Amino acid sequence: MKRTLLLAALFLLLGGGAWYALNKKSQTSSRNSWDMNFAVPDTDEIYKIFLADRKQRTALLERKDGYWLYNGKTRARPDAVENLLTTIAKVNVWYVPSKASEKNIVRSLASEGIKVEIYNKAGKLLKNYYVGGLTNDEHGTYMMMEGSNQPYITHIPSFIGQLRVRYLLGDDAWMDRTIFEEKPEEIQSVTVEYPQIKSESFRLEKTDEANYEVKPFFSTTPMSKNPQRKGVAEAYLLAFEKLGAEGYETDNPVRDSVTNLVPFAIVTVKKTDGTEKQVRFWPVEVQETREGVVYVHRYFAEVDKGAFLLIQEGVFGPVFRGYKFFFEGKPESRLPN
């Protein structure tokens, strides 16, 4: 008798699960209307994306030759653009929400949703929809097509997580975090000034094709009597090929007080075409060992007295060399910070 009851209970459980799965599937498979088709599978067709919310924040992304322009003023972060394009290409309706919940979902989309407009090269509107918040299990994202009253729960197959965070808004979220991206052969000079370690400040300058000379930055520093190490100047310039920040700190409340301090380093790169970029650095995350050795893990950086960012020692460490590093002998492996 007990065995019969157990089998019956198991049958009901499996049957109920199958009914739920079939019912949920039927909610999507039974509908195949225009307002379910959110994806643009061929992202090469996309040339402009416009995002906006009720807080009057907007983001305009425009495809250019080899990059995307953000709000008509600066390059957009390549990784952020890639994440957004992947989402646009793969977003799919997962299931239809219950009728009882539709009214609240539509209200939320209207008040808190992100409006998305996607255009092709000719300026034709390809998609126009709203992105809302998460489902309670945080596996689905509410979306609704412009002109429709039917919201849907969407996802990317095989991906667990919200999609809304990929539709970014705000300058700090979209602006490219690259600080230096220079071809070594196009660099005329690099000066590195350490205001508190003047003897290690230097100027590296291109004298002719593939030849570089390193001199003290301050006239009070004596010239090194040791020969310049072969290939070291050229190798040093390679560090400037791609250097980026961890993130922007535009609204950091300590910004003004930090930028009024004497910086640890001032790095200026001048190109052969005469353009110049200067970056100032201040230690922000410092660790001292029991032996009294000080390690800096992160710095604040200000680019041309404009953008204020957070950078990592692990990325910029190769730039922070001292004058003696370029000459034969035993230069210190690290500069004191």
207-228 pLDDT, tens digit each: 988 799 999 999 999 999 999 9
Q: What is the pLDDT of residue 158?
A: 86
Domain boundary pick from 174, 203, 233: 174
Question: Do 127 and 236 reside in the same domain of the chain?
Answer: no
Residue 168 lies in a domain: yes
Domain extent for 252 = 178-326
- The span from the CA of 138 to the CA of 163, in Å, is 10
What are the φ/ψ torsions at residue 329 (nearest 5 degrees)? 135, -155
Question: Do 51 and 111 reside in the same domain of the chain?
Answer: yes
Question: Do 90 and 209 reside in the same domain of the chain?
Answer: no
Question: Do 187 and 151 reside in the same domain of the chain?
Answer: no
Q: What is the pLDDT of residue 209?
A: 84
> Which pair of tokens denotes residue 189?
């000079």
Strands of 17-136, DSSP E? 46-52, 58-63, 68-70, 74-75, 92-95, 114-120, 125-134
CA 90 to chain centre: 21
Q: What is the pLDDT of residue 332?
A: 56
Residue 7 lies in a domain: no
Q: What is the pLDDT of residue 292?
A: 63
Question: Do 210 and 224 reside in the same domain of the chain?
Answer: yes
Question: Do 204 and 282 reside in the same domain of the chain?
Answer: yes
Question: Do 78 and 164 reside in the same domain of the chain?
Answer: yes
Domain boundary pick from 119, 149, 174: 174
Question: Do 244 and 111 reside in the same domain of the chain?
Answer: no
pTM of full prediction above 0.85:
no
- The span from the CA of 215 to the CA of 201, in Å, is 9
Question: Do 183 and 311 reside in the same domain of the chain?
Answer: yes
- The span from the CA of 121 to the CA of 169, in Å, is 23
Residues in CB range of 8: below 8 A, 6 or more apart: none
- Looking at the structure of the chain, the number of domains it has is 2
Torsion of CA 229, 210, 198, 275, to 10 degrees: -160
> Which pair of tokens denotes residue 314?
């692990």
Question: Do 74 and 112 reside in the same domain of the chain?
Answer: yes
The distance between the two most distant Cα atoms of the chain, rounded to a whole number of Å, is 100
54-105 pLDDT, tens digit each: 999 999 999 999 999 999 999 999 999 999 999 999 999 999 999 999 999 9
**Could you say which DSSP state residue 184 is in?**
G
Q: What is the pLDDT of residue 289?
A: 65
Q: What is the pLDDT of residue 334?
A: 55
Distance of CA 263 to CAs 121, 192, 216, 282, Å? 46, 12, 19, 5
> Which pair of tokens denotes residue 134?
């998460």
